[in-house]
Chains A and B, each alone.
Chain A
Amino acid sequence: MTLLEIHEPGETPLPHAGEGALAVGIDLGTTNSVVAIARDGKPAALHDETGKALVPSVVAYPAAGGVQVGDAARLLMTREPRNVVASVKRLMGRGAADLHAVAGVLPYEIEPGSGETDMVKLRIGGKARSPVEISAEILKALRKRAEDALEKPVERAVITVPAYFDDAARTATRDAARVAGLEVLRLVNEPTAAALAYGLDKGAEGLYAVYDLGGGTFDFSLLRLEKGVFQVLATGGDTALGGDDFDRAIAERLLAERKTDGLADTVDEGAVKTALALGRQMKEQLSDRDQTSGRLELSGVPSFHALGRADFEAMIAAYVKRTIDIARHVLTDADMKAGEIHGVVLVGGSTRVPLVRAKVAEMIGKPPLTDIDPDEVVALGAALQAEALTGGSDTLLLDVTPLSLGLETMGGLVEKIVPRNTPIPVQLAQEFTTYQDGQSAMAIHVVQGEREMVADCRSLARFELLGIPPMTAGAARIRVTFAVDADGLLTVSAEERTTGVAQRVEVKPSYGLSHDDMADMLYDSLEHAEDDMARRLLTESRVEAERGLLALDGALAKDGGLLSTEERAELDVARLRLQTATKGEDRDEITAAAEALETLSKPFAERRMDRGIREALSGLSVADLEGRVGRD
């Protein structure tokens, strides 16, 4: 029996969803990125020709020109350190005020933005580039990989961000996608995506934790899973803590050992990047064995280093302890005990480090879940969500705000309007008043963070509510509304409510990226699109010219006798001109030379055609011809 399907409002499946309009899931990671697609609830990471799913989040602007992403870019890291950027995610949405957090961590020349909320830029390949445009290059490469693998245009994506990403970093991520020509269906928190990948597969129920230690960020989240509902209860983390710190600890050790051995190194960018690369390699080896060694060559001088696992664990113990402290704090936040957790999902390549696994197991009191590749699990979850959003699904993700949002009040104090771990979307308002008689304006300063003082929080936006009618101090009622959407992005509005003449100001914090910057970047990408188009046209005209030359050569070999010596010489000159033009970059010249040759060879073609017809007709009677026509 066929039942008539009745759908709840908003649950109606999209008509013709899926065909031609594919939506992918993207894990835009600090160290590696992955793109995945889900079909019928089955997610799969998309691989390159060599079967690799991971795309190193490395972008190079080589001296030779162009842009390289991934393994190709990483190869240039030691040769052209000044033209290569890695771990750019750490700078997403960061302003000058945040530089202390990354100072010394990233071996780049960093230019603070001009204003307080302007994003920093990197001087790479001789040009100041924002983290947004660099990230956009990674997204473009992932998009291309997806289009190559799926053989269909890909224009929509679910992109994951660390749960702890603040508003600035989320906006920056959305902007990067826009520059890369991708519509973001939803920004999903990485731990939530990971839980999704596990939950749907395993039909898990109960309280779960996600411990996500990537290259540059750490997140710990608590989720309740129940009949297709993924409810995030609490989340916390550190945006500047990850496996890169482990690499750096080893690299510092290596450089120190060389110094002890009396090697006088100039520790420049190239040296640091070389040492970091070896550090990473040794770290990875120590996941499977107790002892490793490495050879470091700087300025042609090699040195040999040994490192034991115990030694390595001592070097990183403080970092690992910090992750456990944060995890305990999140548990306290949610009024939960470690013992109540059914299982903990491990995410991020850094969770392969045995010490990390041991400490997590120790805290939870049970071995962590590791059956999905920790490098791919986030992208797989994002792909599932992308399918759910475009094709309809029963799954429901209920996420929360990772950080409190508030306003600056008298004395530089923060008044929290939206506390952290509030389910989103959310709209909350609070009323403020004037503190001076006749006050006609109120400065509104929006901040994000858990601290009590404005100076310790992150400044998101400032604006002024003007036109407050003159009243005695404390009489005005100014209602400030904070709205956080399902992507975790904030809109703030303010209005004066006593007089009916409501002044309303709405601010969408742009954090870090001025509209001019954004416009420039979009323009740049358009310019590049033009470049790309020109390149394609050039290639097409070359291919066409070469095909013409080949045909002409064939004709000359067969029917060259139809031409006089003079005509033949003229044709040879024109032929040579076109041949030369196809080796150059000038598409107009190729077109012109092709046209000239065509005009010149027209009489030859006509004569050949006449001869062909004559040959075909010779010796045939009219009846034969009619018969032939009839048969054809």
Chain B
Amino acid sequence: MDHFARLGLPAALELEPATLDRAYFARQRQWHPDRFVAKPPDERARASAEAAALNDAYRTLKDPLSRAVYFAALKGVELPGDGKTIDDPELLMEVMDAREELHEASSVAEVDALAAFAREDLQKELATLPRLFLANDKPAIRKTLLRLRYLDKFAEEAKARRTNLGKS
């Protein structure tokens, strides 16, 4: 069962957070282990597995990027595993430049500016996805998702760098 089906939602790229929450809460009310404390072990195990699967589905579909990656996989667009080398030379250059900039940034303000750029870019790229899926342009979907994944990672790194700068 895919994550959408598990939550009783139609498989779609776009999903309202409130709709997702409603579906998730309703199913957790049914399956959360707290509802099975006094049940026989096999029922408890089943509830625990179901609740874990619901949590996995919720986590995957909540974040727009991970939802897009998951939806793309359902449509047959596979991305290289996390942490694998980027096979797009243009993107590779961009990543290396940006990392260097982040590394050289010496103030919280500089890091914040870089992170803000990345987030802005991220929103822009996300907005292009519906059109690409509509056209079923798989190479373009793949390219966009790869760039989105890098931007997301970059924002995370900026957050960590900011925390470190804040400490000293």
Known A10-B47, A17-B38; contact A425-B33, beta-carbon cutoff 8 A: yes
A11 touches which of B35, B37, B49, B159 (Cβ 8 Å): B35
B55 touches which of A9, A14, A390, A426 (Cβ 8 Å): A426
Known A422-B55, A422-B59, A425-B33; contact A329-B163, beta-carbon cutoff 8 A: yes
Q: Is A428 an interface residue (CB 8 A)?
A: yes
A390 to B35 alpha-carbon distance, docked (Å): 9
Residues from chain A with Cβ under 8 Å of B35 in the complex: 10-11
- In the complex, the answer to whether B55 meets A10 with C-beta atoms within 8 Å is no
- In the complex, the answer to whether B56 meets A427 with C-beta atoms within 8 Å is yes
A185 touches which of B29, B37, B39 (Cβ 8 Å): B37
Give the most central of B43, B49, B51, B159: most A CB within 10 Å.
B51
Per-position 1/0 for B31-66, Cβ under 8 A of A: 111111111000100011101110110110000000
* Those of B110-144 within 8 Å (CB) of chain A: none
- In the complex, the answer to whether B28 meets A396 with C-beta atoms within 8 Å is yes
What is the minimal beta-carbon distance from A508 to any residue of chain B, in angstroms?
15
What is the minimal beta-carbon distance from A499 to any residue of chain B, in angstroms?
22
Q: Is A336 an interface residue (CB 8 A)?
A: no
- Closest residue to B53 on the A side, CB-wise? A427
* Those of B12-38 within 8 Å (CB) of chain A: 21, 25, 28-38
Known A14-B38, A427-B56; contact A9-B30, beta-carbon cutoff 8 A: yes
What is the minimal beta-carbon distance from B102 to any residue of chain A, in angstroms?
17
- In the complex, the answer to whether A423 meets B59 with C-beta atoms within 8 Å is yes
A332 touches which of B25, B38, B159 (Cβ 8 Å): B159
A485 to B55 alpha-carbon distance, docked (Å): 12
- In the complex, the answer to whether A186 meets B37 with C-beta atoms within 8 Å is yes
Q: Is A389 an interface residue (CB 8 A)?
A: yes
- Closest residue to A332 on the B side, CB-wise? B159
B48 touches which of A329, A388, A423, A486 (Cβ 8 Å): A486
Main secondary structure on chain A at its contact with chain B? mixed
Q: Is A229 an interface residue (CB 8 A)?
A: yes
Residues from chain A with Cβ under 8 Å of B59 in the complex: 422-423
A244 to B135 alpha-carbon distance, docked (Å): 63
Give the most central of B25, B29, B34, B36: most A CB within 10 Å.
B34
- In the complex, the answer to whether B37 meets A8 with C-beta atoms within 8 Å is no
Residues from chain A with Cβ under 8 Å of B43 in the complex: 10
* Those of A1-42 within 8 Å (CB) of chain B: 8-11, 14, 17
- In the complex, the answer to whether A426 meets B56 with C-beta atoms within 8 Å is yes
Q: Is A207 an interface residue (CB 8 A)?
A: no
Q: Is A97 an interface residue (CB 8 A)?
A: no
Residues from chain A with Cβ under 8 Å of B31 in the complex: 10
- In the complex, the answer to whether B34 meets A428 with C-beta atoms within 8 Å is no
Per-position 1/0 for B148-162, Cβ under 8 A of A: 000000000001000
Known A11-B29, A229-B25; contact A389-B34, beta-carbon cutoff 8 A: yes
A-B contact count (CB 8 A): 69
What is the minimal beta-carbon distance from B29 to any residue of chain A, in angstroms?
6
Number of interface residues of A (CB under 8 A): 30
- In the complex, the answer to whether B32 meets A486 with C-beta atoms within 8 Å is yes
Q: Is A483 an interface residue (CB 8 A)?
A: yes
- Closest residue to B166 on the A side, CB-wise? A325
A385 to B29 alpha-carbon distance, docked (Å): 15
A397 to B37 alpha-carbon distance, docked (Å): 14
- In the complex, the answer to whether B37 meets A390 with C-beta atoms within 8 Å is yes
- In the complex, the answer to whether B33 meets A486 with C-beta atoms within 8 Å is yes
A424 to B35 alpha-carbon distance, docked (Å): 14
- Closest residue to A394 on the B side, CB-wise? B29
Residues from chain B with Cβ under 8 Å of A226 in the complex: 21, 25
Residues from chain A with Cβ under 8 Å of B38 in the complex: 14, 17, 389-390
Q: Is A600 an interface residue (CB 8 A)?
A: no
Known A186-B37, A427-B52, A483-B52; contact A8-B25, beta-carbon cutoff 8 A: no
A426 to B25 alpha-carbon distance, docked (Å): 16
Q: Is A398 an interface residue (CB 8 A)?
A: yes
- In the complex, the answer to whether B30 meets A8 with C-beta atoms within 8 Å is yes
Known A185-B37, A332-B163; contact A398-B28, beta-carbon cutoff 8 A: yes
- In the complex, the answer to whether B34 meets A425 with C-beta atoms within 8 Å is no
What is the minimal beta-carbon distance from B158 to any residue of chain A, in angstroms?
11
A486 to B54 alpha-carbon distance, docked (Å): 13
Per-position 1/0 for A387-428, Cβ under 8 A of B: 011100010111000000000000000000000001111111
Give the most central of B25, B31, B37, B59: most A CB within 10 Å.
B37
A373 to B67 alpha-carbon distance, docked (Å): 43
A479 to B69 alpha-carbon distance, docked (Å): 22
Residues from chain B with Cβ under 8 Å of A8 in the complex: 29-30
A486 touches which of B25, B30, B34 (Cβ 8 Å): B34
B58 touches which of A229, A332, A423 (Cβ 8 Å): A423
A427 to B39 alpha-carbon distance, docked (Å): 21
- In the complex, the answer to whether A428 meets B56 with C-beta atoms within 8 Å is yes
A323 to B101 alpha-carbon distance, docked (Å): 32
- In the complex, the answer to whether B55 meets A424 with C-beta atoms within 8 Å is yes
A394 to B30 alpha-carbon distance, docked (Å): 10
- In the complex, the answer to whether A10 meets B37 with C-beta atoms within 8 Å is no
What is the minimal beta-carbon distance from A323 to any residue of chain B, in angstroms?
15
- In the complex, the answer to whether A389 meets B37 with C-beta atoms within 8 Å is yes
What is the minimal beta-carbon distance from A452 to any residue of chain B, in angstroms?
10
A426 to B51 alpha-carbon distance, docked (Å): 8
- In the complex, the answer to whether A485 meets B48 with C-beta atoms within 8 Å is yes
A422 to B21 alpha-carbon distance, docked (Å): 15
What is the minimal beta-carbon distance from B154 to any residue of chain A, in angstroms?
16
Residues from chain B with Cβ under 8 Å of A389 in the complex: 34, 37-38
A360 to B27 alpha-carbon distance, docked (Å): 36
Known A17-B38, A332-B159; contact A423-B33, beta-carbon cutoff 8 A: no
Residues from chain A with Cβ under 8 Å of B163 in the complex: 329, 332
Residues from chain A with Cβ under 8 Å of B52 in the complex: 425-427, 483
A17 to B37 alpha-carbon distance, docked (Å): 12
- Closest residue to A23 on the B side, CB-wise? B37
Give the most central of A185, A388, A397, A426: most B CB within 10 Å.
A426
What is the minimal beta-carbon distance from B63 to any residue of chain A, in angstroms?
10
* Those of A159-185 within 8 Å (CB) of chain B: 185
A185 to B34 alpha-carbon distance, docked (Å): 9
Residues from chain B with Cβ under 8 Å of A394 in the complex: 29
What is the minimal beta-carbon distance from B110 to any residue of chain A, in angstroms?
17
A253 to B31 alpha-carbon distance, docked (Å): 55
A425 touches which of B25, B48, B58 (Cβ 8 Å): B48
Residues from chain A with Cβ under 8 Å of B33 in the complex: 425, 485-486
Given contacts A10-B35, A423-B59, 7 further A-B contacts (CB under 8 A): A9-B30, A10-B43, A11-B29, A229-B28, A426-B52, A426-B55, A486-B51
Listed by A's residue number, 30 A-B pairs whose Cβ atoms lie within 8 Å are: A8-B29, A8-B30, A10-B35, A10-B36, A10-B43, A11-B29, A186-B34, A186-B37, A229-B25, A332-B163, A388-B34, A390-B37, A394-B29, A396-B32, A396-B34, A398-B28, A398-B32, A422-B59, A423-B59, A424-B55, A425-B33, A426-B52, A427-B52, A427-B53, A483-B52, A485-B33, A485-B48, A486-B32, A486-B34, A486-B48
Interface residues of B (CB under 8 A from A): 21, 25, 28-39, 43, 47-49, 51-53, 55-56, 58-59, 159, 163
Nearest first, the 5 A-B pairs at minimum CB distance are A486-B33, A10-B35, A423-B55, A427-B52, A389-B37
